Structure 1
Amino acid sequence: MKKQNYASAAASVYLNYAVVGAATIFISQYREVLAKAWNANSTSISLVMAMVGLGRIFTILFAGAISDKIGRRKTLLIALICDIIFLLGAAYANNVWIAGIASLFFGATNSFGDTAGYPALADAFPDKTATMNSFVKAAMQIMQMLFPFWVKLIKSPQITALVLSVILIVDIIITLKAAYAPQSEGSNKKNSNIETKVTDTQEEKPKLAIDGAMIITLGFTLCFTFYIFSLYAPYYGQYVLNQSAENGNQLVSWYSIASLISVFITSILVTKIRRLTLIVTYETISAIGLLLMILAPSQTTAAIGALLVGFFAAGGIWQVGLSVLTSYFPQSHGKITSYYSFAPAVVYFVAPLVAAFVLKANSTSTLMVFWITAIITIISVVIALILIKRGRKFNIEG
C-alpha cells in the first residue's frame, strides 16, 4: 500500500498557527490606532486583551471533546473561522464592547486550534510528534518576529486584518482539501499500559493533588512570563525608553528571534539535561533578563532582556513542563494535558486583567507590570526546585 502523505494537513496546521502568532500581538501592536477607534485608554485595551483568556476558559473544557467527536479537520475549521471574526471584529470595532466580544472569539481560536492542531500532528506523525510540535512554536515565532516590521509599514489595522483574513480563507481551502490521518487511540493506550506497568513497580508515586497541582501551577507561571512580555514589551519601549510606538514594537522582534532559535536548541537540550533542571536554569536567566530591564532601563538592556526572555521563557519551556507532567502521570494523558492547557487559558485572562489595574501611560506603572512578571518568573524557579526535591523520591526522569 502507498503510504498516505499528510504534508498538506501539517501545512494547514502550521499556517493556522502562523496567523495566530500575529493575531496574539495584533491589539498590542496597533494599540495607539485601536485605542482611538475604540475611545479607549491603556486600561481598557488590557481589559479587551483579557477577554481572550475568558474566551479560552469558556471553550477549552469542551473543545477537546468536540475535536474527538467531529474530527480534527472540522475543529480546525472552527478555529480558523473564529480567528477571522476576531481580526475583523477588533479592527473595525468602534467601541471596547465590540472589541471585547471579538476577543472572546480569539480565545475560542486558541482552544479549538490547540485541540485540533496538536492531535492532528500526533495522528499523522506518531514517530515524530515532538519534532512536528516544535514547528508549531516556530511558525508562531517567525510571524511574531516579522509582524512588528509589517506594522511599521502598514499602519492600518483594517488592512492588516483583511490580509490575515485572506490567509485564513486560503487555509480553510487547504484544510478542506488536505488528507488528515485517522484518529488513533490504540498506540496511546499501548504506551499508557507499558508506562503504567513501569510506574506500578515504584514504591512511591507522585500525587496529583501535590505534584500534579504544582506542575499545573508551573504551567501557569511559565506561560505568564512570556505572554505578558509579548503583550507589554512595546509599552516598555514607548513609556520607559520614550521611543515612538513603532520603535517600541521592535522589542517583540528581538524576543521572537531569540524564541525561534530557542525552539530548536531546547528540543536538543531536553534530551540531554533533566527537564526540571532545564526549567530552573531557563527561568532563572529569564528573571535576570527582566530584572536587568527593570533596574537599569536603556535601549541596550531592553534588547538584552528581550533576547533573554525570548530564548529562555518563550522557546518551548512550557512544553517541557507538560512533558514532566505526562511522565509523572502516564496513565491519564488526555485528562492531565487538559488540566495543564487550562493554565494558559487562565493566564490569558488574569495577566492582562492584572496589568489593566496597574498600567497607565507612564514609566512607573509599566515597570510595575514588569516587576509583577519578574516575581511570577521567580516563583517558577521556586516551584521547579521543590519539584526536584520531591522528585528524588520517585524513580522518574524529571
Structure 2
Amino acid sequence: MGVIILAQNMEALAKHWNTTVGGVAIVISSLGIGRLIVLLVSGWLSDKFGRKPFVVLGVITYLLFFGGILVSTSITVAYIFGILAGIANSFLDSGTYPALMEMFPESKGSANVIIKAFVSLGQFGLPLFVSFLVAGDFWYGWSFILCIVVLIVNLLFMLFAGKFPVANQDAKVEEKEAEKEDVPVSKGNVWFDGTLFVLYGYVAQATFYLVSQWLSQYGTKVAGMGDAGSHALISYYSIGSIVCVLVTAALAKRAVKEIQFLGVYTLISFISLLLMYMFPTAIMCSIMSFVVGFSAAGGVLQLGLTIMSTFFPAGKGTITGVFYTAGSIASFTIPLFTGMMSTNIANIFLFDVIIALIGFVLAVLITVRYYHLFGKPSQKGAVK
C-alpha cells in the first residue's frame, strides 16, 4: 500500500502540490532513493543485531511517511517524506525476509512468498478504497489514514511479540541438508552469479513496479476506460498476484523447486505485457492485468531472493540488502524514465515489455547456472 498509494492518488496529489502527474511520478522516485540510502547497511546491521528492531523501526518510519504526505504542500516536502518511505521499506525488507527464512528454514520459498500475499492484499484493497472515495467525492487523505491505522495495529502487535530466531541460525540447517545430499553448502560465483542476481533484482522490480504505477493511467488514457474501471485494473492485478502465491505454495508442496518457477513466470509476464500493448482494449487490459499480476507480482522477486540465498547461504540480511538494492535502483530510475515519457502512456508499456524480455533472458541464465551447479531439482531436494 505504501508503494502504490501515491500512484492511486496521482490526480488529487498533483492538484494539491500544484504540479502535474509527471511531477507526482518524480516524487514516487524518491522512494527508490530512500531504499538506496540504507538498504545495504540495514541488511548488514540486521545480521548483527537481529530482525525485530528493524521491523519495528520500519513501521515507525512508514508512519512518518503517511502522516507527512498529508501535511505536504509542495513537491519538495513530499519528496523528503517519500525518501522516508523508501527508508522504511528498506528496514522492513531487512527484517521480514531474513526472519521468515530463519523461522522456516526448510520452507524458505513458501515463507517469503507469503509476504507477497499480504502485499497483494494491500494492493487489492487500496484501489477499491480509493475508487470508493472518488465515487463519493470524499477527501483522498482517508486512504492515508487507513494505512496509518493498519500500521499502528501492526506496531502494537510487534512490540509485544516474542523473540525472533537468532540471525542466520538457519545456515546450520542448510549445512546438515547439504551433508545428507553430499553437496557443498555454497557453489555460487560471487562475480558471475552475483551479477546475474543483481541484474535480475533490478529487472524484476522494474517490471511490476512500472505496471503498478501506470496501469490505471494506461486504462484511462490508452484503453479508454472510465475511472472506476481503470482503478479496478490494479485490483485485478493484485488478485492475480494472490492467486500466484496460492499456486506457488500448492506446487511447492508437490516438490516443485523455486528455480522451476522462475523462467515460466517471467515468460508469462513478457507475453501478457506484450498482448496488453498490442491490443489496448478494456477486456484485454482487464484479463492481462490479472495475468501480469500473477506472473510478475506474485512472488517472483521473492523467489529470486530465495534462490540467491541457495547460491550464497551465509548472511541472509546482507544477501537481502544486495538483492533489494538492485530493486531500489529500479524504484528510483524507472519513475524518472516514465515521468519523461508521461505524454505517451503507450510508450511506457512498450518500455515495460522490453524490460520483461530482458528479465526472461536473465531467468534462463540463472536457471542454467543452477542446474550446472546443483543439478536437476529432485523430489528429495524440493521445497517442503
TM-score normalised by the chain length of structure 1: 0.85
Aligned-residue Cα RMSD (Å) equals 2.5
Match in the other structure for 1:10: none
* Aligned partners of 2:109 and 2:258 also within 8 Å: no
* Aligned partners of 2:47 and 2:168 also within 8 Å: no
What is the CA-CA distance between 1:302 and the residue it aligns to? Answer: 0.2
Match in the other structure for 2:268: 285
Are 1:91 and 2:70 matched, yes or no? yes
* Aligned partners of 1:48 and 1:100 also within 8 Å: yes
Separation in 1 of the partners of 2:315 and 2:104?
21
2:223 partner letter:
L
Are 1:46 and 2:25 matched, yes or no? yes
In structure 2, the CA distance between the partners of 1:126 and 1:191, relative to structure 1 (3 Å rule), is closer
Separation in 2 of the partners of 1:148 and 1:186?
39
2:46 is matched with which residue: 59, 67, 70?
Answer: 67
* Aligned partners of 1:30 and 1:151 also within 8 Å: yes
Q: More deviation in 253-262 or 120-129?
A: 120-129
Separation in 1 of the partners of 2:125 and 2:342?
26
Q: More deviation in 106-115 or 262-271?
A: 262-271
Match in the other structure for 1:372: 351
Match in the other structure for 1:237: 219
Match in the other structure for 1:6: none
Match in the other structure for 2:364: 385
1:133 is matched with which residue: 87, 101, 112?
Answer: 112
Local SS of the residue matching 1:208:
coil
What is the CA-CA distance between 1:135 and the residue it aligns to? Answer: 2.4
Match in the other structure for 2:244: 262
Local SS of the residue matching 1:175:
helix
5 Å-filtered alignment, 1:1-398, equals 22-126=1-105, 129-155=108-134, 156-189=139-172, 191-192=174-175, 195=178, 198-200=182-184, 205-270=187-252, 272-273=255-256, 275-331=258-314, 333-360=316-343, 365-397=344-376
* Aligned partners of 1:283 and 1:381 also within 8 Å: yes
Match in the other structure for 2:381: none
Q: More deviation in 65-74 or 206-215?
A: 65-74
Local SS of the residue matching 1:183:
coil
In structure 2, the CA distance between the partners of 1:187 and 1:383, relative to structure 1 (3 Å rule), is closer
Separation in 2 of the partners of 1:192 and 1:343?
28
Taking only the aligned residue pairs, the percentage that are identical comes to 28
Separation in 1 of the partners of 2:176 and 2:147?
44
1:65 partner letter:
W
What is the CA-CA distance between 1:213 and the residue it aligns to? Answer: 0.9
What is the CA-CA distance between 1:235 and the residue it aligns to? Answer: 0.8
Task: List runs of 5+ in structure 2 lacking aligned partners.
Answer: 378-384
Separation in 1 of the partners of 2:374 and 2:355?
29
Local SS of the residue matching 1:157:
coil
What is the CA-CA distance between 1:128 and the residue it aligns to? Answer: 5.1
The number of residue pairs the alignment matches comes to 371
In structure 2, the CA distance between the partners of 1:297 and 1:212, relative to structure 1 (3 Å rule), is same
What is the CA-CA distance between 1:165 and the residue it aligns to? Answer: 1.3
Separation in 2 of the partners of 1:185 and 1:316?
22
What is the CA-CA distance between 1:231 and the residue it aligns to? Answer: 1.0
Separation in 2 of the partners of 1:190 and 1:274?
18
TM-score normalised by the chain length of structure 2: 0.88
Deviations 1:189-222, CA, capped at 9 Å, x for gaps: 45347648944499xx542212221122112212
What is the CA-CA distance between 1:123 and the residue it aligns to? Answer: 4.6
In structure 2, the CA distance between the partners of 1:207 and 1:119, relative to structure 1 (3 Å rule), is closer
* Aligned partners of 1:266 and 1:317 also within 8 Å: no
Deviations 1:25-60, CA, capped at 9 Å, x for gaps: 111111110000011112211110110010000010
Separation in 2 of the partners of 1:90 and 1:118?
27
* Aligned partners of 2:273 and 2:349 also within 8 Å: yes
In structure 2, the CA distance between the partners of 1:191 and 1:42, relative to structure 1 (3 Å rule), is same
Separation in 1 of the partners of 2:91 and 2:258?
28
What is the CA-CA distance between 1:374 and the residue it aligns to? Answer: 0.6
In structure 2, the CA distance between the partners of 1:64 and 1:300, relative to structure 1 (3 Å rule), is same
Separation in 2 of the partners of 1:280 and 1:133?
18
Q: More deviation in 211-220 or 25-34?
A: 211-220
What is the CA-CA distance between 1:322 and the residue it aligns to? Answer: 2.0
In structure 2, the CA distance between the partners of 1:166 and 1:335, relative to structure 1 (3 Å rule), is closer
Local SS of the residue matching 1:241:
coil
Local SS of the residue matching 2:246:
helix
* Aligned partners of 1:34 and 1:91 also within 8 Å: no
1:81 partner letter:
I
Local SS of the residue matching 2:373:
coil
In structure 2, the CA distance between the partners of 1:126 and 1:32, relative to structure 1 (3 Å rule), is same
Separation in 1 of the partners of 2:170 and 2:196?
28
